[in-house]
């Protein structure tokens, strides 16, 4: 899990050392097809239409539900109840997951994210 990292895109080498995109293509596609994850593409420029500025090699993966994410962390319930610590512990990942989930469920939008493609800023 890449929760405690501030990655600008999905990093396969953190799943399994030395792995590459082709090693996980089918697994990610299966999870997408089953509706268990959301794949959010990066745009290299904030301009309309956003799809014109997609970086197909850079994306973030989110679970379907923030509850699944919390279950995968094996966090004690008290940590969740205390609130503040959990949000600093995972650098906003739970908040980001929740906001994405709400935007998709209530607005039906296709989300994107922006970051520069300069490798020194990743």
Read off the pLDDT of residues 7-25 as tens digits, 9 standing for 90 and up. Answer: 656 777 777 888 888 888 9
At 75 the pLDDT is: 75
* Residue numbers of the domain that contains 18: 12-121
The verdict on residue 3 lying in a domain is: no
pLDDT in tens, 64-110: 998 898 888 887 777 777 766 666 667 678 889 999 999 999 988 89
Q: Which residues does 68 contact at the CB level (< 8 Å), separation at least 6?
A: none
The verdict on residue 23 lying in a domain is: yes
Q: Is 108 left (phi over 0), alpha (psi -120 to 50) or beta?
A: left
**Partner residues linked to 8 by β-bridges:** none
The verdict on residue 96 lying in a domain is: yes
Mean pLDDT score across all residues of the chain = 83
At 121 the pLDDT is: 42
Tally of domains within the chain: 1
The verdict on residue 89 lying in a domain is: yes
At 60 the pLDDT is: 92
The verdict on residue 28 lying in a domain is: yes
The verdict on residue 2 lying in a domain is: no
pTM: 0.77
The verdict on residue 85 lying in a domain is: yes
């Amino acid at each position: 899990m890449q929760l405690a990292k501030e990655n600008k895109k999905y990093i396969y080498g953190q799943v399994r050392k030395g792995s590459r995109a082709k090693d996980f293509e089918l697994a990610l596609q299966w999870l997408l097809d089953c509706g268990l994850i959301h794949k959010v593409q990066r745009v290299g420029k904030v301009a309309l239409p956003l799809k014109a500025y997609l970086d197909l090699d850079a994306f973030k993966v989110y679970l379907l539900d923030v509850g699944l994410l919390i279950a995968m962390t094996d966090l004690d319930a008290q940590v969740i109840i205390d609130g503040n610590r959990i949000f600093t512990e995972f650098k906003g990942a739970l908040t980001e997951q929740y906001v994405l989930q709400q935007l998709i469920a209530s607005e039906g939008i296709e989300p994107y994210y922006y970051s520069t493609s300069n490798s020194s800023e990743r």
